[in-house]
Amino acid sequence: MALGEFELIERYFKRPPRRGDTVLGVGDDAALLRVPPGQLLVAAVDTLVEGRHFLDDAPADSVGHQSLAVNLSDLAAMGAEPAWALLSLSLPEIDEAWLTSFAAGIQTLAARSGIEIVGGDTVRGPLVVTVTVMGFVPDDQALRRSGARPGETLYISGAPGEAAAGLALLRADRTTDPDDVLVRRHRYAEPRIDLGRALRGRASAAMDVSDGLLGDLAKLCAASGVGARVELEKLPLSRALLARSSRHDAERYVLRGGDDYELLFTLPQQTDAAILAGLQALCPVTRIGVIERGSGVLCTRGGVAVDVPGSGYDHFA
Amino acid sequence: MALGEFELIERYFKRPPRRGDTVLGVGDDAALLRVPPGQLLVAAVDTLVEGRHFLDDAPADSVGHQSLAVNLSDLAAMGAEPAWALLSLSLPEIDEAWLTSFAAGIQTLAARSGIEIVGGDTVRGPLVVTVTVMGFVPDDQALRRSGARPGETLYISGAPGEAAAGLALLRADRTTDPDDVLVRRHRYAEPRIDLGRALRGRASAAMDVSDGLLGDLAKLCAASGVGARVELEKLPLSRALLARSSRHDAERYVLRGGDDYELLFTLPQQTDAAILAGLQALCPVTRIGVIERGSGVLCTRGGVAVDVPGSGYDHFA
């Protein structure tokens, strides 16, 4: 059921074809796509709801950016090459200025990431944006959550927590400077596609942080059948975070904040310094702990166990 | 951002793997899927909004069925083999009975269609269901909207209009017998996967009827650069439709109703009777007109042009 008589997807989201492997894009009942030989298809979907994932006065281009970025982050976490996206938009009304800005936000990131929007659906309803992303990864080189082994080293990319801090700033004061570093990290954080690609064949496990470092690390541990020890004093607390919040709050944002699309990953202990330098050349990566036998996440400060609520660590095990 | 601490997709929608080409299903950042060599990936997305695509008291299993069926219909219209689905659920609350019934509805159709749910997302928000479906089709055998040529014959499958009539019955009276044929066609219509498969290499163009036969035929004509003549007296008016509505209303449901997942397709004039008999063995197909030079849709009754509003026929051309 299209929105009015407008073919919104064609009108706002169809672009001249760029990818040779898109056989048929927007405009038919479905898209026809060619996955290269020797590659697996990688597919994920994420939904953003107004008021929950973005504020009701969020710039439309940031909503467009976020809706694709959160999905690209899933591809990055698998080490995949981005290729195609399907866009489903539930909209309360046809607001041409909003749609134009939303389209600019999603298409700018799409072009930069090698993504082509090949189809979609528009319906009238509450403002809900769902993007499906597809990409590919060489057979047997996909990064999974399940490969972490005791003795391996745990890393986090970039500056986790900044997006959550930016959202908190906006919730407290909608007039916060839109050019504030933290606000921009909430609205326009960049998925770590290059890092994911570089981790292929190197990381034993990887996932993106979407529900907070602690909670997501607990999932990685569960999938791998291992435990993890996080050294709190090693957590990267960015200058921007520390400029706007106490050390305690900054740490809380890092441990509990999501949606800045950072990657959590494990490397064998004997990983070459040259490999690490190669990763660092793409973006900062910080060693924050180790993988251990057992289950759950143990946090330490100065070598002493610290009780962090929600860490999933079973102190009675 | 998951819904509470529940991993709803894992809990309600994960099933033991059935497909050998699903390398990794529900539970990681993305699914890993193997498209067979020599096949194109076919992908589509559709969104259902409460109150618009289904009534607010619709049985949850029918919402589950519909959310996948509307997508499978897009695969059928391309002649594709169903393979995988991603499910995104925006839910106002965690209602276990509703989720269990919804899951039963979508999984029953999934199992019957060879579909495996390989991932998804759940968020808290208004009730909105988005399904992405993926399948494949042999290279160069996909059915498109753009292949219809003047002189070809136009067909429609099954009994279009029944789903729209069923929805109208329910809107008029929520207590309508749930076993009413028309009500069941609205809630549990079956996508024409087998017919789509049989049309590969035979139909010159195909699409599924989702916005009404007339409007969708106009889109097929536009994509093919042709016009069409529909002989109104040839339209299949089902016994169930005629039992509940006047001939005039029945015709209106057929011309304007969507979402019973019927396929509109064109065959070369010289198509073998044996081929047509083969199609009829799968489901009723009715010849309703011809493809002509020009543009838009001309409706006739007894050979005389009839003005049907919204047919897209340009009488001044």
Segment B27-40, tens digit of pLDDT: 899 999 999 999 99
DSSP one-letter code for A105: H
Cα dihedral B73, B76, B77, B81 in deg (nearest 10): 130
**Choosing among B28, B186, B200, B260, which should be mutated to test the A contact, i.e. which has the most A CBs within 10 A?**
B28
- H-type alpha helices, chain B: 8, 60-78, 96-113, 162-172, 181-188, 193-199, 213-224, 239-244, 247-256, 273-282
Does residue A152 contact residue A61 with C-beta atoms inside 8 Å?
Answer: no
Beta bridge partners of B266: B154, B205
Percent of chain A with pLDDT over 90: 82
Q: Are strands A116-124 and A81-91 parallel, antiparallel or unpaired?
A: parallel
B262 and A CB contact within 8 Å: no
Within 8 A of A50 by CB-CB distance, chain B residues are 125
CA nearest to B205 within chain A: A28
A211 or B120, higher pLDDT: B120
Could you tell me if A123 lies within 8 Å of chain B, comparing CB atoms?
yes
Q: What angle do CA B306, B310, B315 make, to 5 degrees?
A: 55
CA dist A110 and A314 (Å) reads 42
Residue A11 has pLDDT above 90, yes or no: no
- Longest CA span, chain A: 64
Kindly give the pairing relationship between strand B285-292 and strand B153-157.
antiparallel
Dihedral, CA of residue B29, residue B88, residue A122 and residue A259, to nearest 10 = -50
- Identify the residue among A22, A45, A89, A311 best suited for mutation to test binding to B, counting B beta carbons within 10 A and taking the highest: A45
pLDDT value, residue B5 = 39
- Spatial strand order of the sheet with A39-49 comes to A116-124, A81-91, A128-138, A39-49, B31-33, B22-24
Best mutation target, B23, B45, B116, B141, to test chain A (most A CBs within 10 A)? B45
Taking the Cβ of residue B194 and every Cβ of chain A, the question of whether any pair is shorter than 8 Å is answered with no
Can you give the pLDDT at residue A258? 84
B41 vs A contacts (CB less than 8 Å): 32-35, 41, 134
Does A46 lie at the interface with B, CB-CB under 8 angstroms? Answer: yes
- Any idea which residue has 């889109």 for tokens? B219
C-alpha closest to that of A41 among B98, B125, B37, B11: B37
Measured CA to CA, the distance from residue B12 to residue B100 in angstroms comes to: 7
pLDDT above 70: residue A196? yes
Confidence tier at A65 by pLDDT (50, 70, 90): very high
Q: Is B117 on the interface with A (CB under 8 A)?
A: no
Q: Which amino acid is at A74?
A: D
* Percentage of chain A lying above the pLDDT 70 cut: 96
**Mean pLDDT for the stretch of residues A61-71:** 97
Which element (helix H / strand E) includes A24? strand A22-24
CA–CA dist A127, A124 (Å, integer): 9
- A117 pairs with which residues across the strands? A85
- Residue B214 contacts A where some CB pair is shorter than 8 Å: no
Q: Name the E strands within A92-172.
A: 116-124, 128-138, 153-157
**pLDDT at position B311, please?**
56
Residues from chain A contacting residue B128 (CB–CB below 8 Å): 47, 90, 125-126, 128
Measure CB to CB from residue B125 to each of A23, A49, A259 and give the nearest one: A49
Q: Quote the minimal CA–CA distance from A270 to chain B in Å.
A: 26
3-state DSSP assignment of residue A216: helix
- Give the pLDDT mean for A68-93: 96
Contact call for B211 and A2, based on CB within 8 A: yes
List the one residue out of B41, B288, B199, B57 whose CA is nearest residue A31. B41
Q: Which two tokens stand for residue B56?
A: 């607010």
* Interface mutation vs chain A, best among B7, B34, B41, B116, most A CBs within 10 Å: B41
Q: Does A1 touch chain B (CB under 8 A)?
A: yes
**Cα distance from B302 to chain A (closest Cα, Å)?**
30
Q: Distance (Å) from the C-alpha of residue B233 to the closest C-alpha of chain A?
A: 27
> What is the β-pairing status of strands B22-24 and A31-33?
unpaired
Q: How far does B279 lie from chain A, in Å, by closest CA?
A: 21
A188: tokens are 């326009």
Cβ contact B144–A24 (<8 Å): yes
Q: Which of residues 48-67 of A touch B (CB under 8 A)?
A: 48-53
Predicted pLDDT of residue B316: 40
Please check the confidence at residue A1 and state whether its pLDDT lies above 80.
Answer: no
Computed over every residue of chain A, the mean pLDDT equals: 92
Q: Which long-range contacts (CB under 8 A, 24 or more apart) does A240-244 make?
A: A240/A159, A240/A162, A240/A165, A240/A181, A240/A182, A240/A185, A241/A159, A241/A161, A241/A162, A241/A165, A241/A182, A244/A165, A244/A169, A244/A182
In this prediction, residue A3 has a pLDDT band, given cuts at 50, 70 and 90, of: very low
Kindly report the backbone phi and psi dihedral angles of residue A126, in degrees, each rounded to the nearest multiple of 5, phi listed first.
-65, 160
Residues A184 and A163: their CA atoms lie apart, in Å, by 8
pTM above 0.90, yes or no: yes
* Chain B residue numbers touching A49 (CB-CB < 8 A): 90, 123-126
Greater pLDDT, A315 or A296: A296
CB contact under 8 A, A49 and B144: no
More confidently predicted of A119 and A307: A119
Q: Name the residue among B118, B128, B208 with its Cβ closest to that of A126.
A: B128
Summarize the confidence of residues A191-205 as an average pLDDT. 97
Higher-pLDDT residue of B275 and A309 is: B275
For A121-175, what is each residue's pLDDT tens digit?
A: 999 999 999 999 999 999 999 999 999 999 999 999 999 999 999 999 999 999 9
Phi first, then psi, for residue B283 (nearest 5°) are: -170, 160
Please give chain B's pLDDT, 317 residues, in tens: 344 434 777 888 888 888 999 999 998 999 999 999 999 999 999 999 998 888 889 999 999 999 999 999 999 999 999 999 999 999 998 899 999 999 999 999 999 999 999 999 999 999 999 999 999 999 999 999 999 999 999 999 999 999 999 999 999 999 999 999 999 999 999 999 999 999 999 999 999 998 899 999 999 999 999 999 999 999 999 999 999 999 999 999 999 998 899 999 999 998 889 999 999 999 999 999 999 999 999 999 999 999 887 654 443 43
Contact B1 A211 (CB under 8 A): yes
Give me the pLDDT at residue B22, please.
Answer: 95
pLDDT at A197 over 70: yes
Q: What is the pLDDT of residues A261-280, one digit of tens each?
A: 999 999 999 888 999 999 99
User: CA-to-CA distance for A26 and A9, rounded, in angstroms?
Assistant: 7
pLDDT at residue A14 in the model = 83
Task: Determine contact: A75 vs chain B, CB below 8 A.
Answer: yes
* Chain A positions in Cβ-Cβ contact with residue B119 (cut-off 8 Å): 43-45
- Give me the mean pLDDT over the A22-27 stretch: 92
Place of tokens 């760029």: A18
